[in-house]
């Protein structure tokens, strides 16, 4: 079935937060993309994109990775070219995880943590991560290929998780 709806094209997800005060350990937040296959969009991800990496076919790329929030307005940037994502995949979930090297750190403790999702110059969503309070990871965007084969952003799938970065990918799609 074809559709007159073009769906999403090139989407940019950015993550920003304010640096810590001098003399305190840096906060390190990370964008993570999990990609799910058509046959089971709730199962384990087919692959992940994180830490200056890209997808095997080059359609998802994390091009900026900050370890301290000193990124001059954008600390991390992830780009997804939905028009090029293989038809083998039905779902792309974007999450944020807080590194936990210096003890437990939650979104409530990070200054001004925010995700912005844009398609070209059009703002699709802004997510204030402080809404996830005492959690340490969050699903911030859930993109799905609809019945017509076009990519859309599902509106109400944001959720916080109490987990470390290593355990987060197993929970992102739940």
Q: Where are the domains of the chain?
A: 10-172
Instruction: Characterize the bridge pairing of strands 60-64 and 47-49.
Output: unpaired
Bridge partner list, 30: 97
Per-block mean pLDDT, blocks of 10 residues, the chain (174 long): 75 92 86 95 92 89 75 85 96 96 92 95 96 98 95 92 94 92
Which pairs count as long-range contacts for 46-54, CB under 8 Å and 24+ apart, including other chains?
46/88, 46/89, 48/169, 49/78
CATH 2.60.60.30 describes domain 10-172: yes
How many helices (H) and strands (E) would you count in the chain? 1, 11
pLDDT of res. 1: 47
Q: Indicate the pTM of the whole model.
A: 0.93
**DSSP element (H, E) containing 171:** helix 168-172
Q: Are the CB atoms for 14 and 76 separated by under 8 Å?
A: yes
pLDDT of res. 55: 94
């Amino acid at each position: 079935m074809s559709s007159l709806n073009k769906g999403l094209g090139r989407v940019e997800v950015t993550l920003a937060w304010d640096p810590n005060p001098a003399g305190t350990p840096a906060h390190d937040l990370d964008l993570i993309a999990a990609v799910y296959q058509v046959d089971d969009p709730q199962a384990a991800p087919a692959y992940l994109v994180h830490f200056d990496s890209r997808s095997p076919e080059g359609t998802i790329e994390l091009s900026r990775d900050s370890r301290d929030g000193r990124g001059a307005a954008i600390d991390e940037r992830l780009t997804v070219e939905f028009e090029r994502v293989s038809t083998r995949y039905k779902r792309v979930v974007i999450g944020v995880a807080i590194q936990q090297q210096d003890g437990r750190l939650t979104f409530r403790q990070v200054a001004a943590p925010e995700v912005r999702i844009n398609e070209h110059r059009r703002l699709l969503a802004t997510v204030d991560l402080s809404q996830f309070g005492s959690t340490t990871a969050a699903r911030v965007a859930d993109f799905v290929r609809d019945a017509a084969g076009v990519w859309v952003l599902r509106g109400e799938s944001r959720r916080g998780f109490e987990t470390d970065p290593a355990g987060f990918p197993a929970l992102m799609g739940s």
